[in-house]
Amino acid sequence: MTDKKVRVRFAPSPTGGLHLGGVRTVLFNYLFAKKHNGDFILRIEDTDQTRYVEGAEQYILDCLAWCGLKADESPEVGGPYAPYRQSERKAAYRQYAEQLVMQGHAYYAFDTAEELDAKRKEIPNFQYGLAYRESLRNSIALPQHEVDALLDAHTPHVIRIKMPADETVSFNDLIRGHVSFETNQVDDKVLLKADGMPTYHLAVVVDDFLMKITHAFRGEEWLPSAPVHLLLWEYLGWKTDMPQWAHLPLILKPDGHGKLSKRDGARLGFPVYAMSWYDAKTDELTPGFRELGFLPEAFINLLATLGWNDGTEQEIFTLDELIEKFSLERVSKAGAKFDFEKAKWFSAEWIKRSSVSSLKLAVSTILADKGIVVNDDAKLETVINLIKDRCVVLPDFYQQAGYFFDQPKEYDLNAVKPKWTDAKTDFFKEFAILLNVETTIEAHDLEAKFKALAETKGLKVGDVMLPLRVMLVGGKFGPHVFDIVALLGKAETISRMEKAVEQFIAPPAP
């Protein structure tokens, strides 16, 4: 295996939104592949026709594109092992299942869903396996002629793996080390469903073999079915080609118990999906990190550090750095509770560290969504530079930058009105006059003049500084007041001052 080219795959089911944990699995696959100059394959596991959702596959493709995790082979770009959709590979699976039946490692089972439900109710710890298979309707329990008759009559049936008795199946997990299972404890999983589609168990083994996968990363929830997969690799005669397994720790709910789910996002007020997902059946829109205003770099960064670190105190990583530094040995074994506060910190860090030019498109889109069309490119750049340190997510740019382009619609009157005096009205009238004769506005210079004027009027600087801010911005926030004045220009500043003063001196509303 040492000289084989590294090939990994992510194999999602197109059933809905793409979960945080899913993206992290993609990421670890991708990082490992790129680190070893290997290939990253996207395979769509659409074997469950009842759960198939229109548009979900394209959505997954879009998510990967947004994250910058492009697949080398996929249904979209194709590749030497096409097709990459399991539904289109349906015909291939049956022969392997039949081969297993012939070898005695699998068998036909004719039990109906109702019969099995009844068994499960009747027998407390019912498992379709060693203990009960002899008493059920399958090709092990039934005489050959009956099985043939059933088959000839096209009786609906599945093919199940026949778990061997009294064996120990063990393997070396790249993350967890030695893991072992007793075959007596594992049930006879369905390999081929009545509709002819393979289950995950068969499909994953067949396709990983056919697609020459060398390393298989998946969530820890798959660990209990690993012995089935191991045995399949052996029975199919492919054991020497089996990929190395790595079961990734789960991402857990921040509060209570269990793995993070879509519902937790709604309950706790944060996204769980990479991008918003609209479910046409329920007419429900589940928000995503992209729409909340996370930079993809931030999203990738936070996912990478959920269960992995490079051993140093570095926390901010670019994708290239992650590729360079990633190693499976440094992936932790335990599940991690998702912390949205930390996620927001990553977002803020990435916005702060991003260049103005790289932020421009996203910011102008945010502003445009709010009806602000920016045509002064230089002004936009100055604005972004002035405020990016105070934005946590992209939409914050509207709150922090909107007033540079539009007059405030309302003022934080509580901050100024109670302490408003005629002297202040007078001060701002004079300041407007002073401002009006300026030819160029320079922030420092103007601030000095503003302070000097306040002094001659017998006003404390602080008593007029805050009102000026509220006049221009609408509230108690934003960068230095005179930087704002400089950017707004004198006409706009005077206009805003005059307009605001009217409200400051107006009698309180009844």
Among 7, 8, 13, 427, binds RNA (CB under 7 A): 13
Of 195 and 438, CB closest to RNA: 195
The three-state secondary structure class of 12 is coil
User: What span, in angstroms and rounded, lies between the C-alpha atoms of 463 and 421?
Assistant: 10
Among the residue ranges 30-38, 100-108, 306-314, 372-380, the one whose residues contact RNA (CB under 7 A): 306-314
Stretch that binds RNA, among 89-97, 208-216, 220-228, 278-286 (CB under 7 A): 220-228
Q: How far is CA 202 from CA 96, 161, 198, 226, 229, in A?
A: 9, 9, 6, 12, 8
- Using CB under 7 A as the binding rule, whether residue 185 contacts RNA is answered as yes
Q: Is 190 helix (H, G, I), strand (E, B) or coil?
A: strand
Among 5, 120, 239, 267, binds RNA (CB under 7 A): 120
**Phi/psi of residue 357, nearest 5 degrees:** -65, -35
For residue 160, the cross-strand partners are: 107, 190
- By CB under 7 A, the residues from 314 to 373 that bind RNA are 315, 330, 332-337, 339, 341-342, 345, 348, 352
- Identify the CA nearest to 322 among candidates 339, 310, 311, 335: 310
Q: How far is the CB of 342 from RNA (least distance, A)?
A: 4
Q: Which is nearer to RNA, 225 or 364 (CB)?
A: 225
Q: C-beta of 401: minimal distance to RNA in Å?
A: 12
Among 81, 132, 420, 477, binds RNA (CB under 7 A): 477
Which residue number, 4 or 419, has a Cβ lying nearer to RNA? 419
Plot region of 196 (φ>0 → left; ψ -120 to 50 → alpha; else → beta): left
Q: From the CB of 92, what's the least distance to RNA, in Å?
A: 15
Which of the stretches 32-40, 74-82, 87-95, 253-261 binds RNA when contact is defined by CB under 7 A? 253-261
Binds RNA by CB under 7 A, chosen from 269, 311, 418, 458: 311
If the CB atoms of residues 69 and 226 are measured against RNA, the closer one turns out to be 226
State the Cα–Cα distance between residues 336 and 313, nearest whole angstrom.
Answer: 18
User: Is the bond preceding residue 254 a cis peptide, omega within 30 degrees?
Assistant: no
- What does the radius of gyration of the chain's CA atoms come to, in whole angstroms? 32
In whole angstroms, give the CA distance from residue 197 to residue 199: 7
Window 37-76: residues binding RNA (CB under 7 A) = 45, 47-48, 50-51
Tell me the HSE value of 362 on the side-chain side, using a 13 A CA sphere: 22
Out of 81, 132, 222, 238, name the contact with RNA by CB under 7 A: 222
The residue (of 92 and 194) whose beta carbon lies closer to RNA is 194
Query: Closest separation between CB of residue 475 and RNA, Å?
Result: 8
CA distance 67 to 288: 12
Identify whether the C-beta of residue 406 lies closer than 8 Å to the C-beta of residue 370. no
By CB under 7 A, residue 259 contacts RNA: yes
Judged by CB under 7 A, the residue of 128, 217, 273, 504 near RNA is 128
Q: Round to whole Å and give the CA distance between 162 and 207.
A: 21
* Segment near RNA (CB under 7 A); pick from 88-96, 119-127, 431-439, 499-507: 119-127
Nearest alpha carbon to residue 212 among 26, 328, 43: 43
> Which of 25, 199, 286, 364: binder of RNA (CB under 7 A)?
199
Q: Which residues between 130 and 159 bind RNA (CB under 7 A)?
A: 156-158
- Among residue numbers 431 through 460, which ones bind RNA (CB under 7 A)? 451, 454, 460
The yes or no reply on residue 309 touching RNA (CB under 7 A) is yes
Candidates 188-196, 207-215, 318-326, 419-427 — which segment interacts with RNA by CB under 7 A? 188-196
Q: By C-alpha distance, which of 112, 114, 134, 269 is closest to 194?
A: 112
Rounded CA-CA distance 238/88 in Å is 23
Query: Which residue's CB is nearer to RNA, number 95 or number 185?
Result: 185
Q: Which of 6, 10, 8 is nearest to 64 (CA)?
A: 10
List 53, 65, 223, 374, residue binding RNA (CB under 7 A):
223
Between residues 5 and 333, which has the closer beta carbon with respect to RNA?
Answer: 333
Nearer to RNA, 79 or 335 (CB): 335
**Binding track over 376-405 against RNA, x by CB under 7 A:** -------------xx---------------
User: For RNA, which residue of 161, 250, 367, 501 counts as binding (CB under 7 A)?
Assistant: 250
Out of 458, 462, 507, 510, which residue is the one contacting RNA (CB under 7 A)? Answer: 462
- Give the residue numbers marked as catalytic: 262
Residue 147, CA distances (Å) to 59, 109, 135, 141, 166 in order = 44, 9, 14, 9, 27
Please count the residues of the chain. Answer: 510
- Tell me, by CB under 7 A, how many residues bind RNA: 84
Give the Cα separation of 476 and 412 in Å (integer): 7
DSSP 408: -
**Smallest separation, CB 433 to RNA (Å):** 21
To the nearest 10 degrees (0 to 180), the angle between helices 481-488 and 461-473 is 50
- The residue among 118 and 368 lying less far from RNA, judged by its C-beta, is 118
